[in-house]
Amino acid sequence: MEKVPPGGEITITPDTVITPLAREEAERRGITFRTVASREREAAGAAPGLKEDPGESVRTVAVGADHGGFELKEELKRHLRDWGYRVLDLGTDSAAPVDYPDFAEAVANAGARGDASLGVILDSAGIGSAIAANKVPGVRAALCYDRATARNSREHNDANVLSLGAKLISAEAAREILAVWLSTQFAGGRHQRRVDKIRGIEERKGKK
């Protein structure tokens, strides 16, 4: 449980035994338990970025923001480090006006190269950065605005980049969204078939 960020989620099977001490600790840290069938958990595998013996890239989260997302980026970096992640900050480094596609592309490229396992991008609304990042082959950037969309984007879509609108959500909401997003596992199964079709679109359009 110590590897799950505050506000995150732990997937358990119906026969999982949770001790009173574990429940108390989970409540203290805002961690929730979600029960799934045993085969679903097996298909999902270990949570991204939270493997038992992770390599350096697995523990690395690339972050990037334009001027509109700069302050929130700095705050989320602190949370990521507290949760045990290595942060690859790709800018911007101030609130001076810059262009969001530059930073969204930098984060997306870091993931595509394997420099980071996951990415987080921020601008004022989060829309433009998501569009830009999704132009990079292999990237599935999702704009999330609450815990439900964060969970769905990972569980169903295997999103590997999280986009946030810094001017549309509070810092606390962003922290909760990030925590859930990091701790949610891809469900695989029928969802894998659909993700494979997304990859197929990239290949047919010559983006491979």
Positions marked active-site: 156
Query: Tens of pLDDT along 69-106?
Result: 999 999 999 999 999 999 999 999 999 999 999 999 99
Number of domains, the chain: 1
Determine the Cα–Cα distance for residues 26 and 3; give it in Å rounded to an integer. Answer: 12
pLDDT (mean) for 100-125: 97
CA dist 41 → 35, 58, 126 (Å): 9, 20, 31
Model confidence, pTM: 0.75
SS3 195: helix
The answer to whether residue 66 sits within a structural domain is yes
Query: Tens of pLDDT along 64-77?
Result: 999 999 999 999 99
Residue 53 has pLDDT above 90, yes or no: no
The answer to whether residue 116 sits within a structural domain is yes
For position 20, what pLDDT does the model report? 63
Residue 42 has pLDDT above 80, yes or no: no
Residue 136 has pLDDT above 70, yes or no: yes
Instruction: Compare 116 and 8 and report the one with higher pLDDT.
Output: 116
The answer to whether residue 120 sits within a structural domain is yes
Residue 52 has pLDDT above 60, yes or no: no
Which range (16-25, 43-52, 107-116, 137-146) has the least confidence?
A: 43-52
Q: Mean of the per-residue pLDDT values for the chain? A: 86
List beta partners, residue 143: 163
Q: Which of 179, 171, 134, 125 lies closest to 154, judged by CA?
A: 179
Residue 135 has pLDDT above 50, yes or no: yes
What is the DSSP pairing of strand 86-89 with strand 60-65?
parallel
Other beta carbons within 10 angstroms of residue 196's beta carbon come to 9
* Percentage of residues of the chain with pLDDT beyond 90: 68
Say which CATH number the domain at 64 has.
Answer: 3.40.1400.10
Phi-psi region of 108 (alpha: psi -120 to 50; beta: other; left: phi over 0): alpha
pLDDT (mean) for 125-138: 97
Range of the domain at 64: 55-204
Cβ burial of 155 (10 Å; 0-12, 13-18, 19+) is buried
